[in-house]
Amino acid sequence: MTSIAKIDHFVSVEDSSNEQVLLLLKRASAFKQGVLWKSPKKQIFAANLFFENSTRTHNSFHIAERKLGMDVLEFDVQTSSLQKGETLYDTVLTLSALGVDVVVIRSSVERYWDELLQSPRIACHIVNGGDGSGEHPSQCLLDLMTIQEEFGDFSGLKVAIVGDLVHSRVARSNMQMLTRFGAEVYFSGPKEWHHKEFDHYGWFLPLDELVSKIDVLMMLRVQHERHDGSQSFSKEEYHQAYGLTEKRAKRLPDKAIIMHPAPVNRDVEIANSLVESAKSRIVEQMRNGVYARMAILEAVMSGWEKYYL
Amino acid sequence: MTSIAKIDHFVSVEDSSNEQVLLLLKRASAFKQGVLWKSPKKQIFAANLFFENSTRTHNSFHIAERKLGMDVLEFDVQTSSLQKGETLYDTVLTLSALGVDVVVIRSSVERYWDELLQSPRIACHIVNGGDGSGEHPSQCLLDLMTIQEEFGDFSGLKVAIVGDLVHSRVARSNMQMLTRFGAEVYFSGPKEWHHKEFDHYGWFLPLDELVSKIDVLMMLRVQHERHDGSQSFSKEEYHQAYGLTEKRAKRLPDKAIIMHPAPVNRDVEIANSLVESAKSRIVEQMRNGVYARMAILEAVMSGWEKYYL
Amino acid sequence: MTSIAKIDHFVSVEDSSNEQVLLLLKRASAFKQGVLWKSPKKQIFAANLFFENSTRTHNSFHIAERKLGMDVLEFDVQTSSLQKGETLYDTVLTLSALGVDVVVIRSSVERYWDELLQSPRIACHIVNGGDGSGEHPSQCLLDLMTIQEEFGDFSGLKVAIVGDLVHSRVARSNMQMLTRFGAEVYFSGPKEWHHKEFDHYGWFLPLDELVSKIDVLMMLRVQHERHDGSQSFSKEEYHQAYGLTEKRAKRLPDKAIIMHPAPVNRDVEIANSLVESAKSRIVEQMRNGVYARMAILEAVMSGWEKYYL
């Protein structure tokens, strides 16, 4: 039995060790089974600081915090001194001074946390709720949790990641982590949304070739809000060329599952009728997100000294 | 002693049975007297999802939820994925997946809840905080509570509903429920804001004829925000023609009470000096709103098996 | 041992007696040392109603309320009936009716509370979180707390208040209170931001003359948001003429401290490198703000009968 390194912040899953990720998954699963947090006997304040719109990530962090018995401060960007030009650094410095223990931040700025983690004056634990085109580590964790829950192990699993690969902040983390844990990764979708650096992780193939052979079909959201509208296909064209149509779904293996980080553009990435179908784990992903985030919050707050692999 | 049907959602008072409404009133009254909720021994999450501006309804649901010991998620429409085009259905599906037990929704869309209640995947209890020109059932309940508190019984009570009848989402519920419980309903106000379907419930008469004979004077808000500004009267003209002036108030019977769902346009529907006068129950209506909403939340959360008429 | 007058509201520190202020400081200090509130055995609702942007004041009131075990209602001005034209008076009347015990208000309207305190129907305790160009009494209290913590006593202390004196809502309170407690006050900054009424409290001198002789250097924020942009100096010019440059900081006495209500315009009022330096108490001011506000909330909620000077 060996203990593993404590983490103070959780900003990147890619920089986490396999042991750390597996322990987070184990704790998330325990929380799902009803295990309670042995929290420190003091009032803990969590602040959520979201600079980008969010339903799932924001609200599931809130619920995770409350399930852990934390006090939640919903920081309102629009009515804060950020509007007077105060920086993120000075805002988090303030929250730290006010006694906030953990701050969850979503920002459009990649690696916004660098300056926060370097400050000797900021005592808050920082949790990354998504940074620009960087990472979305809690999403990666809940995706891994959902796959692990289904198949027990990642080794040899065939996972296709399909769609807006370059704009997704979870696709790159997922391809890295899945590969590290022994899965085989494939890609599909529009060529212009693929990048040659992904070749390192797996083949880029037409969806029709992949669909009958995979265990996990991970569809990515077409992020209209991050595009300039210049792409050359309509929603219907996208659906037919790169989406999970009802016809393609029929060719999926019996045990295959469908995943999507949501919000789903129904009838674009996935046919409307399939979103809540038996093979879909989209609702389960959202459910697991609460427990994955509980595990993350526990990890940064109480360390891992007492847990063992 | 007979039990009455459990309700899972509370979206319409008009579709509720008299027994259900009377039981809600009884429980609201009990809460006001300090009775505590025998809550389930688990953490309950309530989410408030308001698409329209609100002070009373929104905050009194929040306070009712906290008085029942629930955890409250204030869903921020403006910073949610609704801004990326996510639908109400997918938003509530998400909240359900995250473990939210009850969702209070105010929307401008009439009967927005139809698709929510039909979904086999949405496990939340839905409470209607107002739907377009549809219903505002918690407001109706608090109005009935305020009248019952004053007069003990509805039978034979003379109630005048005055003003913006067609745009009000509580007037129609009130005329129906009051009639069902044996009250006599009268109407007054501008002719263009009356509709012949209301004739089924009572006479439409000038306020000067009604004012000396009624027990309850229920003034409705002139909803500037729902009008196009084309009405032909000024605020002062409205007040003189259809409002409760000081002169008219002097002719009210001794035991008569003045009601208004608020916010009041002072000196339009009601003379400023009368809003907080001895006959006014406007502040009491707001107070009762908390207890009426506690009764609603209790009903959808714990069912009514253990309570009897 | 004599008791001092109970306060029901805390809207002005200038109208408070020295005894009241000293008792608030004593209680704030006790809270900082971990003393717990002997709260009434009932659920207490606090509502925060902020019409102006705020990070420190708003969030530290929220945290203070939660540390006292209160339920917090974050009143959202933008989605309330204030948007339908409802007045502040009717909004607070509503919150009172809903059972809110204490309302913290920040407004751009000077003495907004006058009509609230006169109402026989509003039962809430009112706490001023800043009123226009009026007062910001909780800021004054935390400033006094920070100075007292450092020097023990105010008597004979030399305090320079520097910068935007006329637009600051804390400068005037600070000069009054510091003078009342026996400190010597000096002023500096642009001449056009000084006012002859301040001559009553102390000399107006160039910063270079003051900097080597003072105990407390209290820099004020240049409030870009309250100016029309017509001032004749750039940020760099302001910094060189009136700001705390690194060069000036070297001339400060050993035990001198630097204060600022924040948010700081780094390199304008204070050189960036000095904001978190050893002499700076800016982070400590933010920390103390939570405890000062706990003392204020305790005072209005439970009175002071049981505490003695």
Q: Note the pLDDT of residue C302.
A: 84
How many Å apart are CA B104 and CA B305, to the nearest integer? 23
Q: Are residues C147 and C257 in the same domain?
A: yes
pLDDT tens per residue, chain B (309 residues)?
A: 455 667 899 999 999 999 999 999 999 999 999 998 887 889 999 999 999 999 999 999 999 999 999 999 999 999 998 998 999 999 999 999 999 999 999 999 999 999 999 999 999 999 999 999 899 999 999 999 999 999 999 999 999 999 999 999 999 999 999 999 999 999 999 999 999 999 999 999 999 999 999 999 999 999 876 565 666 689 999 999 999 999 999 999 999 999 999 999 999 999 999 999 999 999 999 999 999 999 999 999 986 655 544
* Interchain contact, C264 vs A95, CB within 8 Å: no
Amino acid in position B74: E
How many Å apart are CA B8 and CA B125, to the nearest integer? 6
In a domain, C8, yes or no: no
How many Å apart are CA B70 and CA A57, to the nearest integer? 21
Alpha helices in B211-281 (DSSP H): 235-242, 246-250
Q: Note the pLDDT of residue C226.
A: 58
Q: Are residues B101 and B216 in the same domain?
A: no
* Interchain contact, A63 vs B79, CB within 8 Å: no
Q: pLDDT of A250-294, one tens digit each? A: 999 999 999 999 999 999 999 999 999 999 999 999 999 999 999
Task: Tell me the CA end-to-end span of chain B in Å, nearest whole number.
Answer: 7
Q: Note the pLDDT of residue A305.
A: 52
Residues 6+ apart with CB under 8 A from B87: none
Q: Are residues C51 and C108 in the same domain?
A: yes
pLDDT of A201 over the 60 cut: yes
* Interchain contact, C74 vs A75, CB within 8 Å: no
Q: Are residues B168 and B90 in the same domain?
A: no
Q: Are residues B110 and B152 in the same domain?
A: no
Tokens of B32: 């006001």
Q: Are residues A156 and A264 in the same domain?
A: yes
Hey, which chains touch C, using 3+ CB pairs under 8 Å?
A, B
Q: pLDDT of A65-109, one tens digit each? A: 999 999 999 999 999 989 989 999 999 999 999 999 999 999 999
To the nearest 10°, the Cα dihedral for B51, B52, B54, B60?
Answer: -40
Q: What are phi and psi of A250, to 5 degrees?
A: -65, -25
Q: How many CB pairs lie under 8 A apart between chains B and C? A: 71
Q: Note the pLDDT of residue A1.
A: 42
pLDDT of A146 over the 50 cut: yes
pLDDT of A225 over the 80 cut: no
In a domain, B6, yes or no: no
Q: Are residues B270 and B151 in the same domain?
A: yes
pTM of the model: 0.95
In a domain, B166, yes or no: yes
Mutate which of C84, C96, C101, C116 to disrupt the B interface (most B C-beta within 10 Å)?
C84
| Of B224, B249, B226, the residue nearest B235 (C-alpha) | B224
In a domain, B1, yes or no: no
To the nearest 10°, the Cα dihedral for A188, A189, A192, A195?
Answer: -30
Element (H, E) at C106: strand C102-107
Q: Note the pLDDT of residue A230.
A: 60
Q: pLDDT of C160-181, one tens digit each? A: 999 999 999 999 999 999 999 9
In a domain, C308, yes or no: no
Residue numbers of the domain that contains B236: 137-281
* Interchain contact, A58 vs B74, CB within 8 Å: no
How many Å apart are CA A91 and CA A84, to the nearest integer? 11
Q: DSSP 3-state assignment of B75? A: strand
* Interchain contact, C90 vs B63, CB within 8 Å: no
| Of C239, C234, C175, the residue nearest C207 (C-alpha) | C239
Q: Are residues B296 and B263 in the same domain?
A: no
How many Å apart are CA B217 and CA B270, to the nearest integer? 11
How many Å apart are CA B284 and CA B38, to the nearest integer? 26
In a domain, C7, yes or no: no
Instruction: State how far Cα C99 lies from the chain centre.
Output: 27
Band (A223; pLDDT cuts 50, 70, 90): confident
* Interchain contact, C290 vs A99, CB within 8 Å: yes
pLDDT, averaged across chain A: 93
Q: Are residues C186 and C206 in the same domain?
A: yes
How many Å apart are CA C147 and CA A266, to the nearest integer? 60
Residues 6+ apart with CB under 8 A from B105: B49, B50, B51, B88, B92, B112, B113, B126, B127, B128, B129, B131
How many Å apart are CA C127 and CA C115, to the nearest integer? 14
Band (A3; pLDDT cuts 50, 70, 90): low
In a domain, A267, yes or no: yes
Q: Are residues C130 and C192 in the same domain?
A: no
Q: Are residues A23 and A153 in the same domain?
A: no
Residue A66, domain CATH: 3.40.50.1370
Q: Note the pLDDT of residue B39.
A: 78
Contact C142, C148 (CB under 8 A): no
Total domains, chain B: 2
Nearest residue of B to residue A290, measured between CA atoms: B98
Q: Note the pLDDT of residue C1.
A: 42
Amino acid in position C278: A
State the residue for tokens 């389960």: A284
Which residues on chain A are in Cβ contact (under 8 Å) with C78? 78-79
Q: pLDDT of C225-276, one tens digit each? A: 656 566 668 999 999 999 999 999 999 999 999 999 999 999 999 999 999 9
In a domain, C6, yes or no: no
CA angle C92, C100, C22 (to 5 degrees): 90
Q: Are residues A89 and A29 in the same domain?
A: yes
Nearest residue of C to residue B225, measured between CA atoms: C84
Q: Note the pLDDT of residue C3.
A: 56
How many Å apart are CA A75 and CA B112, to the nearest integer? 30
Which residues on chain B are in Cβ contact (under 8 Å) with C84? 53, 224-225, 263
| Of B17, B225, B200, B46, the residue nearest B133 (C-alpha) | B225
